[in-house]
Structure 1
Amino acid sequence: MKHIRNFSIIAHIDHGKSTLADRMIQLCSGISAREFKDQFLDSMDIERERGITIKSQTICLPFKARDGQEYALNLVDTPGHVDFSYEVSRALTSCEGALLLVDAAQGVEAQTLANLYLAMENDLEIIPVVNKIDLPSAEPEKVALQIEEDLGLDAEMTRYCSAKTGEGVQEILESIVSFLPPPEGDPKAELQALIFDANYDAFRGTIISVRIVNGTLRQGDTIRFMSNDAEYRVEEVGTFRIQRQSEKTLSAGMVGYIIAGIKSVQDARPGDTITLRDRPCAKALPGFKEIQQVVFSSIYPISTDDYEDLAAALEKLQLNDAALTFLKDSSAALGFGFRCGFLGLLHLEVVQERLEREFDVSLILTVPSVRYKCFLKDGSLQEIDNPAYYPDPANIDYTEEPYIKATILMPDRYMGSVMNLCMERRGENTTYHYPTPGRIELSCEIPLAEVIYDFYDRLKSITQGYGSFDYSLIDYRKSDLVKLDILVNGERVDALSQLVHRNNARARGLHACEMLKEEIPRQMFKIAIQAAIGGNVIARTTISALRKDVTAKCYGGDITRKRKLLEKQKAGKKRMKTVGNVDIPQTAFLAVLKSDQK
């Protein structure tokens, strides 16, 4: 065990975690140039296209240190975006130490702090690393001072590297061996293994990623899941090398995988403890804290025949993404589907793309919303995350909506425009300070509902990509909420309903009407698109009808002949409108979510 090191790489988004992991893999594994590819641990197409890490990935690297001893380094590469902080918290439970990566040009940013606190909660040993020292705008000494002043970490421990060129990576590996503690545990005790991840393989069943805390696990053992008492016989155990590598045993301190022919996706839940059937441990390990979903949206299959496929796909995806939750839902317009909870809008986008790519299911999503509290006049409380269940306004005493504390780090030249953005979004109690000359940290309390609607995109465009954003939920506050309904051809489309603040209702209604006008194809009759609060229409646009020129054959004569033909056409269109159906394309549902402001 003293030759094992379990460590994680944590940082703000885009500070070079995956690139540093690439250099470490090249240095330790002796992987050939033909086999190697950039973002080696990012296995999903979406991760490669967007240049972000979504899933924490583990790899075991053999490293020969200067003392001549060979060590097994279990590296966990983690995401940096605020929406995937749950992945980070789960990855850190399987480690004893962490590399805290900071960009030499950008300095300490919002997620750097958030991830540092996560590591401290898990009592991890932390080595600060300043990356990208090869950039012309790099200021490594200044950033090292910032790490000492802002984060309270020892500047003498700071290591400098360029993950792109490989400079300094060897020294970091030596520091991991020297400064990070080996894992603790008793290989002879009863088996305690913590599940920190899992994914589904069509041929082998569920493949579980575990950290062995105590005991030893061998091929052929019968294991028991402590949360549901399900039992399975182990077919294979092993470690994560470049590919999965089968081993004879996994013992205390090791990180590896278990294949046991687990067909039921529900049995292997991240956070559960595995023990042996014949020699069980006394108590389960503490799991992960329950995650709070903040954005809710309903997902429906475009074809009702795909409902069963969507249900199976969500179950398999939840195994790989424990932050996703879903419940059955139905809609008059869209049929049967699922109400899903997400950690943010990026998480929602990624889940939608993964369902469409990995499971080949075509989807429609409803407008995202947050969870509101409705206090009724009879003294009861209703929590609403779906506009369809909004109670009758006559029965509501008052409503509350969630507020967040937003922390925005940016160069000080963008201060004015970011303040305006926060004021637009009903921000209050704004405070700011200068962590370093030229950089400003702005704190503001904003309703969560205002943030999920394109706030992050607007912030990035205003600050030209230099602004970083982090948030934490603080409390619920009174708010004047209304239910905004969208009517197409006089019929209410429940999938497009939104809960909005009364002051924003008209602007949001106009935006939805304009977007739908562009997306819905023209018919042989006029289509009215209206936004309404109850029976009060507050915005409207009209899609004009396709019209045949019925007066073309009148080449002269009295005007009454033309008028007679036009009146006949008008009566036909009126009759058509009463029986005509308007099909709303999938793009229209997505268009309503998009902002027209840049």
Structure 2
Amino acid sequence: MKDTNFIRNICTIAHIDHGKTTFVDRILELTKAVDLRQMHEQFLDQMDIERERGITIKASPVKVIYNYTGQEYEINIIDTPGHVDFSYEVSRSMAACEGAVLIVDASQGVEAQTVAHAYLAVDNDLDIIPVINKIDLPNANIEETATEIISLLGVKKDEILKISAKTGQGVKEVLDAIIERVRPPKGDPNKPLKALIFDAKYDKYRGIVVYVRIFDGTVKVGDKILIMSTNQQYEVSEVGIFTPDMKPTDVLGPGEVGYIIAGIKEIGHAKVGDTITSATNPVAEPLPGYREIKPMVFASIFPGLPEYFEELKKALEKLKLNDWALTFEPTRSPALGFGFRCGFLGLLHMDVVRERLEREFEIAVILTAPNVEYKVVLRNGETIFVNDPAKFPDEGEIEKVYEPFVKLSIITPTDYVGDIYTILQNERRATLLHTENAGKNRVVMYFKAPLAEIITDFFDRLKAVSRGYASMDYEFLGYEESDVVKITILVNKEPVDALSTVVHKSKAYQVAKKLVEKLSELIPRHQFEIPIQAKAFGRIIARADIKALRKDVLAKCYGGDVTRKMKLLEKQKEGKKRLREIGKVTIPQEAFLAILRIDEEKD
């Protein structure tokens, strides 16, 4: 059994694109954990989407062996995402560690997610090793970045390490610091098994593979285990570690991070945050697990063809196993048939789920525009939560509507403060709470803003107005009373509930006009004219028409009386009218996301 004094468990945390995954690449090379012939950039980013977008989406564990002063140490590293939408992955990873390497880009300095992740690490009582990365860049501002880290963490200047993850400079010193500064895990191999499930994935041949951190006891092949929340028993068929590929071992003991395969077939029987213990000698209390995550953004997902509904259900269940922040429940749309109303942590999370469904499960899906969850007090005194505009009650039934608000923190160079303030105050209904100095020529702006105004295109607007220098983070504050109205879209006089949206009354006419115009561009022309209408306040408030595809029925008329031509045109007109009554309008996928694109300029 391994001595826990020679084990270290750490996670890497940083703002997006500050070099966490590249840093782990250099550690894999330095410790020779991966054959150089197999080595490539972003090695721990296993998904194609991660490599293409250059971002980490899933936390990835790996075990390396490092020789420090003649003694071999086992270091378990969990590489975490940096985007605000995946902060849940970070909090889960921290529960399996005793230390964290906080990486800050020398050219960018401390940014919004750096602050959020640092506070999260402090809350989890982790030993934090601050690291300044990209010191080889010509525009690296090492001294200023060090001052910001000292202000954030209260550490001494000589505790901050300086590295270049790209060249490998200083990485060995970080590994030394992990051994010296991060406390070893505690645990008793003689106590009953107590293991935390921090992730899981579905294998079609072997069932569910659970990723665990062992706190007490041991687990080996043949052991009978118990999953505490479901009270289900299983026999272990394989245990192993991540090198970073799954590698079977004889036994997993206290302080170790690894995986267990035990023939678990039911997806609901292996919940992330659950505790695994011995079936013959169980522990009395489970581990605290994780706080329940609350989705911020909601959208409906429908299969491209109605007959693939069951396949979509199975795909979402398997995806949820690997992405516990995803929530879904069945829904039905008259226009699109049966599908699922899904909850996401943000727009990037929503986009990644759609792409994973299409790539990993080969299911074409239709995704509706995102919405937030409103709290509605009805005239009969009942309070309901509505996250689907199609189910939003009629105005006559509503007493009050409350919408979710967030505390938005933006770190930006002082040059862009005015523009950011103007956008949030004038366009996004936000209120400035206060500002703080964040070092040389940088400030932190704190706003109270409606979540609905932040989730659509705000991140892109912020990056555009600040030339990419500003960064943002937000946390949920609560619900506040608001004046909102539902806009129902009618295509060919038939309501399409999947195109409905809820907006603030002050923006209703503006949004309705832009929405019908955008839809008229996105919906292809048919053999008949298609009116697109937006309805709110009990009446039609905007309209656009898609002209019919017309056949030249006069082509064969070379002469003769004009009445002959008039008769042919009248006959065509009657046919178009009849077609409009019985014709079916084909609405493409892009139309369902038109709400995200109404601010785009027309070509």
Partner of 1:393: 395
Q: Which residue of 1 aligns with 2:348?
A: 346
Partner residue in 1 for 2:285? 283
The one-letter amino acid of 2:173's match is: E
Q: CA deviation at 1:160?
A: 0.6
Partners of 1:470 and 1:95 in 2: CA distance: 24
Aligned to 2:300: 298
What is the CA–CA distance in structure 2 between the aligned matches of 1:265 and 1:575, rounded to whole Å? Answer: 51
Q: Post-superposition shift, 1:156?
A: 2.3
2:480 maps to which of 469, 477, 480: 477
TM-superposed CA distance for 1:550, in Å, is 2.5
- Which residue number in structure 1 is paired with residue 182 of structure 2? 180
Residue 89 of structure 1 aligns to a residue whose secondary structure is helix
* Letter of the structure 1 residue corresponding to residue 525 of structure 2: R
Which residue identity does 2:437 align to in structure 1?
A: Y
Q: Distance in 2 between matches of 1:153 and 1:509?
A: 53
Which of 559, 562, 580 is matched with 2:583 structurally? Answer: 580
> Is 2:313 aligned against 1:307?
no
TM-score, normalising length from structure 1? 0.98
Q: Which amino acid aligns with 1:152?
A: G
Q: What is the rounded CA distance, in whole Å, between the counterparts of 1:219 and 1:541 in structure 2?
A: 67
Whether contact under 8 Å (2:198, 2:273) holds in the other structure is: yes
Of 356-365 and 435-444, deviating more is 435-444
Task: In structure 2, give the amino acid aligned to 1:519.
Answer: L
Q: Distance in 2 between matches of 1:313 and 1:446?
A: 35
Partners of 1:444 and 1:595 in 2: CA distance: 24
Q: Which moved more, 1:510-519 or 1:537-546?
A: 510-519
Counterpart selection for 2:365 from 331, 338, 363? 363
The residue type equivalent to 2:151 in the other structure is E
Unmatched runs of 5 consecutive residues or more in structure 1: none
**2:224 equivalent in structure 1:** 222
Letter in 2 for 1:370: V
How far did 1:434 drift?
2.5
| Aligned-residue offset at 1:159 | 0.6
Amino acid of the structure 2 residue aligned with 1:158: I
**Structure 2: how far apart are the matches of 1:23 and 1:35?**
14
Distance in 1 separating the partners of 2:117 and 2:283: 32
Correspondence for 1:530 among 515, 525, 533: 533
d(CA) in 2 for partners of 1:206 and 1:468? 37
Q: How does 1:395-410 map to 2 (within 5 A)?
A: 395-410=397-412
Letter matched to residue 36 of structure 2: A
Length, aligned pairs only: 597
1:42 aligned residue: 45
Match of 2:512 in 1: 509
Structure 1, residues 426-478: CA drift from partner, whole Å, max 9, x if none?
A: 11134323311211221111100011111111111222221101001112111
Aligned residue number for residue 571 of structure 1: 574
User: Is the Cα–Cα contact under 8 Å of residues 485 and 534 in structure 1 kept in the other structure?
Assistant: no
Q: Distance in 2 between matches of 1:242 and 1:77?
A: 11
- Report deviation, 1:198: 0.5
User: What is the Cα deviation at residue 153 of structure 1?
Assistant: 2.6
Which amino acid letter does the alignment assign opposite residue 349 of structure 1?
D
- Post-superposition CA distance 1:25-73 (Å, at most 9, x none): 11012533311010010000000000000000000000001x2100000
- TM-superposed deviation, 1:282: 1.2
8 Å Cα contact 1:113-1:151 kept in structure 2:
no
CA contact (8 A) 2:144 2:439 kept: no
Looking at structure 1, the residues matched to 342 and 504 of structure 2 have their Cα atoms a distance apart, in angstroms, of: 23
CA distance in 1, matches of 2:389, 2:593: 17
- State the partner residue of 1:428: 431
Which runs of no fewer than 5 residues in structure 2 stay unpaired?
Answer: none
Provide, for residues 99-146 of structure 1, a one-character-per-residue CA deviation record: whole Å limited to 9, x for no partner.
Answer: 111111111111011101111111111110011100111121221111
Question: In the alignment, which of 459, 462, 467 is matched to residue 459 of structure 1?
Answer: 462
Q: Which residue of 2 aligns with 1:255?
A: 257
Distance in 1 separating the partners of 2:214 and 2:565: 87
Q: 2:89 aligns with which of 80, 87, 90?
A: 87
Query: Is contact 1:296-1:340 (8 Å) kept?
Result: yes
Deviations 1:155-207 (A, max 9, x none): 22111100000000000000000111000111100110010000111122111
- Cα drift, residue 558 of structure 1: 4.1
Matched residue type, 1:260? A
Partner of 2:119: 117
Are the equivalent residues in 1 in contact too, given 2:61–2:244 (CA < 8 A)?
no
Normalised by the size of structure 2, how large is the TM-score? Answer: 0.97
RMSD over aligned CA atoms reads 1.3
Q: Could you tell me how far 1:586 is from its partner in structure 2?
A: 2.1
Letter of the 1:196 partner, please give it: F
- 1:466 and 1:500 map into 2 onto residues whose CA distance is 30
Distance 2:578 2:144 in 1: 75
Residue 377 of structure 1: aligned partner = 379
Match of 2:266 among 264, 267, 282: 264
Query: In 1, Cα distance between the equivalents of 2:559 and 2:244?
Result: 84
User: SS of 1:442's equivalent?
Assistant: strand
Deviation at 1:326, TM superposition (A): 0.7
Tell me if the contact between 1:105 and 1:137 (Cα under 8 Å) persists in the aligned partners: yes
- Whether 1:166 and 2:168 are equivalent positions in the alignment is yes
Distance in 1 (CA, whole Å) between partners of 2:77 and 2:483 is 49
Residue-by-residue CA offset, 1:233-259 (whole Å, 9 max, x unaligned): 001111111321211111111111101
Q: Which of 9, 32, 36 lines up with 2:35 in the alignment? A: 32
Residue equivalent to 2:9: 6
Q: Percent identity?
A: 52
Separation in structure 1 between the aligned mates of residue 582 and residue 308 of structure 2, nearest angstrom: 29
Matching of residue 540 in structure 1 with residue 546 in structure 2: no
Please state whether the residue corresponding to 1:60 is helix, strand or coil: strand
Give the counterpart letter for 1:194 in structure 2: L
The Cα offsets for residues 553-591 of structure 1, whole Å up to 9 and x where unpaired, read as 444454333333322322222222112221212232234
Runs of 4+ off more than 4 Å: none
Task: Give, in whole Å, the separation in 1 of the partners of 2:507 and 2:571.
Answer: 43
Larger mean Cα displacement after TM superposition, 474-483 or 69-78: 474-483
Alignment of 1:6-155 (within 5 A): 6-65=9-68, 67-155=69-157
1:193-204 equivalences under 5 Å are 193-204=195-206
User: Are 2:425 and 1:437 aligned?
Assistant: no
